[in-house]
Amino acid sequence: MINSHAEQLFVSFIRANKERFYLLAYSYTKNEQDALDVVQDSIQKALQSIHTLKDEQQLKSWFYKIVSRTAIDFLRKHKRMQVMEDEKLAFFTPQQVDTYENTDLEDALGSLPTVYREVIVLRYFEDLKIEDVAHVLDVNISTVKSRLYKALKLLRIQLQDEEGI
């Protein structure tokens, strides 16, 4: 039987962060309806396995992992793997205090291979700790750190090339 406290906590968490989960799913599917389906399936999977969550502090990374895996499974079933264009991601992102758009950064992020882009998105845009990124992606912390290092190096090179430095 599902712990009602854990279920209530999860429902509140989903309500507070639904746009973020949609954006994460959309970054994989590049399709509104598919992203909604992924989020809905993720919520259903999470509710069915909420009893496996040992630590409430891990709720965010636990659910991000479910959304990521559900999106990847969805794309495998439909034989397509896409990464959302940054302009669309910016359109669907809830407005933050900083509304400055750096199109060079958006272009550079869009050109990164998926393994590097996803660590950047989870770490810097979703503000997850390195340990949580490792949990979401199901890789070692050292792998996350090396991917972050490589991704930032690639971004730096690309941004310097665009600036003509």
Q: What is the CATH number of the domain that holds 152?
A: 1.10.10.10
How many domains is the chain partitioned into structurally? 2
Quick one: 2 and 83 in the same domain? yes
For residues 75 and 114, membership in a common domain is answered with no
| Whether residues 149 and 78 fall in one domain | no
Q: Same domain for 5 and 77?
A: yes
Q: Please write down the long-range contacts of 88-93, taking CB distance under 8 Å and 24 or more positions apart.
A: 88/26, 88/30, 89/23, 89/26, 89/27, 92/19, 92/22, 92/23, 92/26, 93/19, 93/23
Are both 86 and 129 inside the same structural domain?
no
Q: Indicate if 121 and 88 belong to the same structural domain.
A: no
Residue that terminates a domain, selected from 51, 74, 93: 93
For residues 14 and 21, the answer to whether their CB atoms sit within 8 Å is yes
Domain boundary among 93, 112, 143: 93
pTM over 0.85: no
Residues 108 and 62 in one domain: no
- What range defines the domain where residue 81 resides? 1-93
Nearest Cα residue to 101 out of 114, 116, 89, 113: 89
Say if residue 137 is in the same domain as residue 62: no
Please list the pLDDT of the chain residue by residue as tens digits (165 residues): 346 788 888 899 999 998 888 888 887 777 889 999 999 999 999 999 888 888 888 888 889 889 988 988 888 888 654 555 555 555 555 554 444 455 667 777 777 887 888 888 888 877 788 988 888 888 999 999 999 999 999 888 877 876 665
Listed residues 93, 123, 147: the one ending a domain:
93
CATH label of the domain that carries residue 47: 1.10.1740.10
